[in-house]
A and B are shown apart, each in its own frame.
Chain A
C-alpha cells in the first residue's frame, strides 16, 4: 500500500539554525500539508499546498516557515532560525482528492 514517507525520522539542531524537513507524498496525490505536534499537545495545522502554491497557512507560518516542491516527488518544510519551542513532531500529509488525508510517520525535531 502506498504511504507517505518523511526524512529524517529525528533531527537535532541548535537554536538559531535552519532545518529542512523532507516528505515524499503518495505518488498520485495532489494536495500536501504540514502539521506539527508539540509533545503532549494536539496536532496543529501549519500549511496546505496545491498546484505549486500555498492554499492556506496558519498564523504562525510566515514568521519562520516556508515550503517547496523542488521536484516531482519531494515536498519540503524549511524552518528558519529555530527556537526551543519549535521542538515538536512534524507531520507531512497528502491527499488525492482534498478530502481524506494520509499522514507520514513524522520527523521529531529537537532544538537545543
Chain B
C-alpha cells in the first residue's frame, strides 16, 4: 500500500517563529488533507489540497502531486498551534485515507 512519511517527527519553536512541515507519499493520490490534532484529540481539518496552493490566515499549504509531496507552512506561530499535524492521502480507486505518523509541534511562549 501507499507509504506516507512526515517530517520532522518533532518540532519545538518559540512563539512567533515560522515552520514548514513536510509530507511525502509513495504513489499518485486523488486526495490529500492536512489535519491538526488538538490536545483534546480532535482532528481539525486544515486543508483539502490534492494539488496546488491554498492559504488560510497564518497557514498555507502546497502540494506538488507530480513529485509526491506536500508542505504545510505555519507563520508567526502561537501557543495554540501546538499539537500533532497529520497528512492523510487517498489513492485513486480507494475509499480511505491513509495517515502519516504526524509531526508533533510544540510552541513555547
Interface residues of A (CB under 8 A from B): 31, 33, 35, 37, 42-45, 48, 50, 55-56, 58, 89, 91, 93, 98-103, 105-106, 108
Contacts and interface: CB of A to CB of B under 8 A. Distances in A.
Given A42-B86, A48-B95, A100-B33, 18 more contacts: A33-B96, A35-B97, A37-B41, A42-B100, A43-B86, A43-B97, A48-B96, A50-B95, A56-B95, A93-B97, A99-B31, A100-B45, A101-B97, A103-B42, A103-B43, A105-B40, A105-B42, A106-B43
Contact of A89 (B35, B41, B101): B41
Nearest to A54: B95
B95 A31 contact: yes
A100 B96 contact: no
B88 A55 contact: no
A43 B41 contact: no
B107 interface: no
Interface in B53-75: none
A108 B31 contact: no
Give the interface SS of chain A, mostly helix, strand, loop or mixed. strand
Q: How large is the interface on B (under 10, 10 to 19, 20 to 34, 35 or more residues)?
A: 20 to 34
B98 interface: yes
Interface string B66-109: 00000000000000000000101010001111111110000000
B98 A45 contact: yes
Nearest to B40: A105
Nearest to A58: B96
A89 B71 CA distance: 27
A35 B99 CA distance: 10
Interface in B1-37: 30-31, 33, 35
Contacts of B50: 99
